[in-house]
Amino acid sequence: MSTQSSTQRSVAAPLSPYSGTWDKERAAHLLRRTLYGPLLEEIKTAEKAGLQATVDLLLKDVAIPSPPVKYRNDYDEYVQLGDTWVDKNYRGNNQYRSQSLKGWYYNNIVRSDRTNIQERMGFFWLNYFAISGELTDHRAMYQQLKLYQDLAVGNLRTMLQRITVLPRMLFCLDGHTNDRRNPNENYARELMELFTLGKGPAVGPGDYTNYTEQDVAALARALTGWRNKDFLYSDSNTPVESYFDATAHDTGTKQLSNRLGNKVIRNGGANEYKEVIDILLSYKASAINFCKRLYRYFVYYEIDNEVMTHVIHPLADTLMANNYEIKPVLRQLLTSEHFYRETYRGAIIKNPHDFLGSILRPFREFDHETKVLKLQRRYELGDQYSNYCRDLKLEFLEPPTIAGWKAYYDSPQYYRHWLSPALMQSRDKIAVGLLLDEDYHIKGDRIDINYYGLVKSLSDPGDIDKLIAETLLVFLPRPLVSSQVSYLKGKLSRGLDTKGWDRLIDQYLANPGVKDYARPVDDRLRDFFKALFGLAEFQLH
């Protein structure tokens, strides 16, 4: 696996607009970091359209996916097949809802019908607000995911307002028990430490530079009074909602410390939590903390003094100048000289979502298997993807801590947390032994990767060297050395000369689905991709 020394990245390029050559390699880099595995046609379109138009497309507001549905008839007798359950009670036999939610989520990740950052930002938010816990409900989980889709590139202030009183967050950090008679400090503490200001280095007893223990206690009092309706797994029609109980709210004056300007919060009733958020966002530390996390997610984990000065601070200024709208910050980052530095290409180890998507999405997954992928099989396939990612240590709705996954905060390992000898074996088994296997099954039905569709999308598949070059552009972030390319070429040619390969591909494309013509090419492509996905470079993006 290729690596770059930290000294090579120690001097950050200024956050000026990118002015270099815009080509397919840089287009592919942008799409790898913003999608879950770009298609070749997306790379070509991006190269032709240019950087600004491509970023416009990625950040465009799009409709959120339709909600998950009942996909099998042997459960939930009170819900019709194909109807959603997200607003239905738990009267029936409804154990399938967990699988439905997971299948829906992973099918959204690998969908190939639009070029947009929505799903990539969805996981950013899942990690940013790392909600987990035993007290949950599939409808509340969906509500959480829908919020992340709604505000994927929306406004951080709005996101904080909505997440603060979201039922699942109230359960997770005990906001639903926060009472004037016995204030609970869990959410107030994490709101400052993780979601806004950042803790900063301790400079004295109970003083963390950006806030103090006095502020934790005061904000806990300001956040009292929010409760969840009794909806958990209810067989009544109680909606999945929170509400404000004025009798549980502390109406007294809350005095903040000098770290927060000695501000005073007076009784604001049901809107007092919004004043809390406004106060926290008035400090640049909150913008800096958010932009650091955005940077580690999209660019690289190392943030030294140069990156802080030339990248993080300008992004934070943009965030504050735009009233915490996120889209201008992403636009500034994704169109910057800094983002396109050569040393950042292939610098991130793929998380399990990236790993899975980078295999399946460029093939358009199994969408060509229309006879197999009816409603039930489509959901079962998505649930299988969820199981793969769980095996790779990413249970997407159960982050390990409230700080999220270690890959995004735990120094010095960071992204290396996604890999170990055992996890590499699991990745190899999933990629080579399962998804590419010619007898891959989903609940007993055999389905095949769409090799034909991929080959047909290439500009000149009859030229084996061009075929390899375009394929490597899609699947790898950096060029291979000549010996690696020769190794992969041998998997395809199996001794065929140039004319023999061209003739084989012509017959293949002219006779779709005809076994005598398909088998010789599909077998070669399967061996080729098994070798490709077995390369260490494939673990990077």
The secondary structure of residue 477, as a DSSP letter, is S
User: Residues 6 or more apart from 331 whose CB is under 8 A from it?
Assistant: 55, 59
Up-side HSE of residue 525: CA atoms within 13 Å toward CB?
24
Can you give the pLDDT at residue 10? 39
pLDDT digits (tens, 9 = 90+) for 461-472: 999 999 999 999
Can you give the pLDDT at residue 368? 86
Tokens representing residue 197 in the block: 């200001």
**How many whole angstroms separate alpha carbon 414 and alpha carbon 348?**
10
Backbone region of residue 494 per phi and psi (left: phi > 0; alpha: psi in -120 to 50; beta: other values): left
Total number of residues shown for the chain: 541
The domain limits of the chain are 6-61+284-344, 117-281, 352-539
Which residues are registered as beta bridge partners of 84?
69
Residue 89 carries which side chain, given as an amino acid letter? N
**How many whole angstroms separate alpha carbon 394 and alpha carbon 346?**
21
**How many whole angstroms separate alpha carbon 290 and alpha carbon 312?**
9
Tokens representing residue 190 in the block: 């994490």
**How many whole angstroms separate alpha carbon 94 and alpha carbon 233?**
10
Q: List the chain residues with pLDDT less than 50.
A: 1-13
**How many whole angstroms separate alpha carbon 383 and alpha carbon 500?**
42
Can you give the pLDDT at residue 13? 44
Q: Quote the pTM value.
A: 0.95
Quickly count: other Cβ atoms within 10 Å of residue 262's Cβ: 9
Can you give the pLDDT at residue 439? 65
How many angstroms separate the most distant Cα atoms in the chain?
A: 85
Quickly count: other Cβ atoms within 10 Å of residue 95's Cβ: 9
**What are the two backbone dihedrals, phi and then psi, of residue 155, each rounded to the nearest 5 degrees?**
-115, 130
Closest among 372, 373, 386, 443 to 99, alpha carbons compared? 386
User: Residues 6 or more apart from 113 whose CB is under 8 A from it?
Assistant: none
Q: Do the Cβ atoms of 474 and 362 come closer than 8 Å?
A: yes
Residue that is written with structure tokens 């640049």 in the block: 284
Any idea of the CA torsion for 313, 319, 323, 325, to the nearest 10 degrees? -170
Residue that is written with structure tokens 């980052």 in the block: 333
Exposure string for 451-484, b = 16+ CB within 10 A, e = fewer: bbebbebbeebbbbeebbebbbbbbbbeebeeeb
